[in-house]
Chain A
Amino acid sequence: DTGVSQNPRHKITKRGQNVTFRCDPISEHNRLYWYRQTLGQGPEFLTYFQNEAQLEKSRLLSDRFSAERPKGSFSTLEIQRTEQGDSAMYLCASSSGTGYGFYEQYFGPGTRLTVT
């Protein structure tokens, strides 16, 4: 399968614990995006990378959220000191492109986080 993959698919954690999710984009894609989706809502943009550079992070929900893409390939999203309100589906997407304009984003299946 050459699509976007995300691991784990499901994560249950206790409030206050740290969690990390991984996203592996389509291999030739240089852009990678993270979204959060809560029940009944559309995906909410969080951040994106072009290669290893994080070009937009003002939408990260709080300073407990951080993302990395150290070698411009896979990416991780970490949530520190989780809260029950962090329970959601976390989606990753990737696309090609280096300039301005439309590049189709391909989404992974998501990681469902439940904070108890």
Chain B
Amino acid sequence: DAKTTQPTSMDCAEGRAANLPCNHSTISGNEYVYWYRQIHSQGPQYIIHGLKNNETNEMASLIITEDRKSSTLILPHATLRDTAVYYCIDSPGANNLFFGTGTRLTVIP
């Protein structure tokens, strides 16, 4: 079952950085933080994951606090195509992903 909490919705101006927070209040030591997103009428899409260290890939950056109780997904230059529902998940492995209700990000022109 989903254990993370996220804001229900956020807006971001096109071209600006989008910072999406997530609380992982019950995360345990062997659990990774995963982020997926779901664009309308599509299946979810993997974005990034991490354990302790901050991570960056071609899509986004992931900042994990030292106590690992919260994380932030950063989309450095949001575009209209980034409008989607963003899910953060904490899980010991990627076999069973338990999605919450996510954050609906709207990128505004």
Q: List 5 A-B contacts (CB under 8 A).
A: A42-B101, A43-B38, A45-B98, A45-B99, A91-B43
Residues of A within 8 A of B (CB): 4, 31, 33, 35, 40-45, 48, 55-56, 59, 91, 93, 95, 97, 100-110
Residues on A with C-beta less than 8 A from B41 are 109
Majority SS at the chain B contact face: loop
Q: Restricting to B65-109, which residues have a CB under 8 Å from any CB of A?
A: 85, 87, 93-102
Return the chain A residue nearest B89 by Cβ. A42
Q: Find out whether the CB atom of A40 lies under 8 angstroms from the CB atom of B101.
A: yes
Contact of A102 among B2, B38, B85, B94 (CB under 8 A): B94
Return the chain B residue nearest A55 by Cβ. B95
Return the chain B residue nearest A42 by Cβ. B99
Q: Find out whether the CB atom of A41 lies under 8 angstroms from the CB atom of B101.
A: yes
Residues on B with C-beta less than 8 A from A44 are 99
In Å, the complex CA distance between A97 and B94 comes to 10
Residues on B with C-beta less than 8 A from A41 are 101
Contact of B46 among A48, A56, A100, A104 (CB under 8 A): A104
Q: Find out whether the CB atom of A95 lies under 8 angstroms from the CB atom of B94.
A: yes
